């Protein structure tokens, strides 16, 4: 039992500061306590525990703890808290800071594991997404078919290689879905997108008459399932088309879903791949990523995109102390390569690197179990952290991290019984599930 916090009557919490009086807040717990010794006693319904500051200092990647028991001398009692119920949504946090100056029209950075936005620049503006569309294409393919399925390439799948990115498909070749996914996500093959949409769409409602339309409908069904409010797809590959748009925030959500698929995460983390068609032609398909940052330390190359209307687009992942962080830039500056005549965008990489450097400077990642006092507080209430497993993201140089336990009645082991809310100053930065020990 930690000093200053003791279990009270069922459905209440009792908090003792080291004062000299005993009292109980009028309400659910009023009158249920007798004097138990020196100290000020306070009851709150549903075991709502107020925030208690626990200072933390950082030096590089190491952390040193200051003594924290003195901070229990005065417990800040916050009234008006709602009671916890299973499934309660996370509290909205303050406005997300803007990233450093970039050429991009829109940018968004999301810690996928902590579900925390870190930077935002016009994150909900609806813009042409170019080939970042293929993130959704890959997700629908994974939902609807097997990697070992085979696809016979048709003439209708092919594209003008002088205009569109491609994996070099040849009509009549037979490829597995897995190889086509590599061709979709590494060289950004529009031909691979067409073949996959046709193959998968054939088995979807309405696919007998128009498999491509059926596949696009599945893409938009995915959009609805994920709750994306600023995305609509009109094709599976990403060419500019009226009514075909997404936003940086929505693409970050799609990228998070991709990273949670181990197969797709491995594909986008591959710089080069050589596959062989499975038909009698046994054609070798050498494939290389279009992402210039993939070879940089810690970068997970998710998807590039570029069109005249969309500008330079880039979605990447990176790992920070075990947390996966997605960075999206849309509408970065583009130029025309004088030799090839193709559009190029070095700016999308420079914009992304500016944001990555700012992340390294302005944020730190902390194991929630290491927040001083939390382990003891959870032990007192016989609860523990759920299985989210994500580190907290806090502003670099933060000295004080506060937490508040918000608990419902005791339950069976491993059942969810509440949340722990984390604060920096008066701003909630995160919350985690608590389960009964």
DSSP of 212-275, one letter per residue? HHHHHHHHHHHHHHTT-SS-B-S-SS----TT-BB-HHHHHHHHHHHHTSHHHHHHHT-SEEEE
**Spatial distance between the Cα atoms of 121 and 358, rounded to a whole number of angstroms:** 14
**Spatial distance between the Cα atoms of 96 and 98, rounded to a whole number of angstroms:** 7
Token pair listed for 411: 């339950």
> For position 143, what pLDDT does the model report?
98
Does the predicted TM-score (pTM) go above 0.95?
no
According to DSSP, residue 210 is labeled: -
> For position 259, what pLDDT does the model report?
97
> For position 280, what pLDDT does the model report?
95
CB burial of residue 283 (10 Å; 0-12, 13-18, 19+): middle
pLDDT at 368 over 70: yes
Q: Which of these is catalytic: 13, 106, 131, 165?
A: 131
At the fourth CATH level, the homologous superfamily of domain 106-363 is: DD-peptidase/beta-lactamase superfamily (3.40.710.10)
List, for residues 309-364, the tens digit of each pLDDT value. 999 999 999 999 999 999 999 999 999 998 888 899 999 999 999 999 999 999 99
- Known active-site residue 303: no
Which of 278, 316, 328, 273 shows the shortest CA–CA distance to 102?
A: 328
> For position 340, what pLDDT does the model report?
84
Q: Strand pairing partners for 54? A: 401
List, for residues 225-270, the tens digit of each pLDDT value. 999 999 999 999 999 999 999 999 999 999 999 999 999 999 999 9
Tell me the mean pLDDT in the region 92-111.
88
Tell me the mean pLDDT in the region 397-416.
91
Q: What is the rounded average pLDDT for all residues in the chain?
A: 82
Q: At what angle do helices 190-201 and 211-225 cross, to 10 degrees?
A: 90
- Known active-site residue 131: yes
The structural domains of the chain, with segments of one domain joined by +, span 5-83+368-436, 106-363
Q: At what angle do helices 190-201 and 134-144 cross, to 10 degrees?
A: 30
Q: How many other CB atoms sit within 10 Å of the CB of residue 380?
A: 17
List, for residues 9-51, the tens digit of each pLDDT value. 333 333 322 222 222 222 333 222 222 222 222 233 334 444 4
Q: How many other CB atoms sit within 10 Å of the CB of residue 357?
A: 11
> For position 277, what pLDDT does the model report?
97
Q: Which of these is catalytic: 13, 134, 246, 332?
A: 134
- What are φ and ψ of residue 2, in 5° steps? -90, 145
Tell me the mean pLDDT in the region 260-284.
97
- Known active-site residue 134: yes
Sign of CA dihedral 140, 145, 151, 154: negative
Q: Which of these is catalytic: 188, 246, 332, 345?
A: 188
**Spatial distance between the Cα atoms of 94 and 71, rounded to a whole number of angstroms:** 26
Phi/psi region, residue 338 (left: phi>0; alpha: psi -120 to 50; beta: rest), is: alpha
List, for residues 293-312, the tens digit of each pLDDT value. 998 878 999 999 999 999 99
């Amino acid at each position: 039992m930690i000093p200053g916090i003791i279990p009270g009557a069922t459905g209440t919490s009792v908090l003792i500061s080291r004062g000299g009086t005993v009292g109980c807040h009028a309400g659910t717990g009023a009158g249920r306590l007798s004097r138990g010794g020196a100290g000020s006693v306070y009851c709150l319904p549903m075991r709502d525990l107020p925030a208690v500051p626990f200072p933390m200092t950082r030096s590089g990647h190491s952390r040193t703890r200051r003594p924290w028991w003195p901070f229990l001398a005065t417990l800040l009692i916050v009234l008006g808290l709602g009671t916890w119920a299973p499934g309660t949504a996370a509290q909205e946090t303050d406005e997300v800071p803007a990233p450093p100056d970039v050429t991009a029209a829109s940018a968004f950075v999301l810690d996928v594991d902590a579900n925390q936005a870190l930077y935002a620049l016009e994150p909900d503006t609806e813009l042409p997404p170019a080939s970042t569309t293929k993130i959704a294409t890959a997700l629908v393919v994974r939902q609807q078919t097997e990697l070992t399925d085979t696809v016979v390439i048709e003439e209708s799948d092919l594209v003008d290689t002088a205009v569109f990115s491609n994996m070099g498909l040849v009509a009549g070749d037979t490829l597995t879905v897995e190889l086509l996914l590599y061709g979709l996500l590494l060289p950004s093959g529009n031909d691979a997108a067409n073949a996959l949409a046709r193959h998968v769409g054939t088995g979807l409602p309405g696919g007998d008459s128009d498999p491509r339309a059926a596949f696009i409908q599945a893409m938009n069904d995915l959009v609805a399932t994920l709750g994306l409010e600023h995305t609509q797809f009109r094709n599976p590959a990403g060419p500019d088309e009226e009514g075909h748009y997404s936003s940086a925030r929505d693409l970050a959500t799609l990228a998070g879903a991709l990273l949670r698929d181990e197969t797709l995460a491995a594909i986008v983390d591959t710089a080069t791949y050589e596959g062989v068609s499975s038909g009698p032609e046994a054609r070798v398909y050498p494939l290389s990523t279009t992402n210039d940052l993939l070879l940089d330390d810690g970068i997970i190359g998710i998807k590039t995109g570029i069109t005249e209307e969309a500008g330079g687009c880039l979605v990447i992942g990176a790992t920070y102390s075990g947390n996966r962080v997605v960075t999206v830039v849309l509408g970065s500056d583009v130029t025309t390569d004088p030799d090839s005549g193709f559009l190029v965008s070095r700016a999308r990489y420079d914009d992304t690197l500016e944001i990555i450097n700012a992340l390294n400077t302005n944020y730190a990642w902390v194991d929630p179990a290491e927040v001083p006092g939390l382990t003891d507080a959870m032990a007192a209430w016989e609860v523990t952290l759920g299985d989210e497993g994500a580190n907290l993201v806090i502003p670099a140089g933060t000295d004080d991290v506060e937490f508040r336990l918000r608990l419902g009645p005791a339950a069976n082991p491993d059942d969810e019984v509440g949340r722990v809310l984390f604060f920096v100053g008066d701003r909630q930065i995160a919350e985690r599930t608590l389960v009964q020990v």
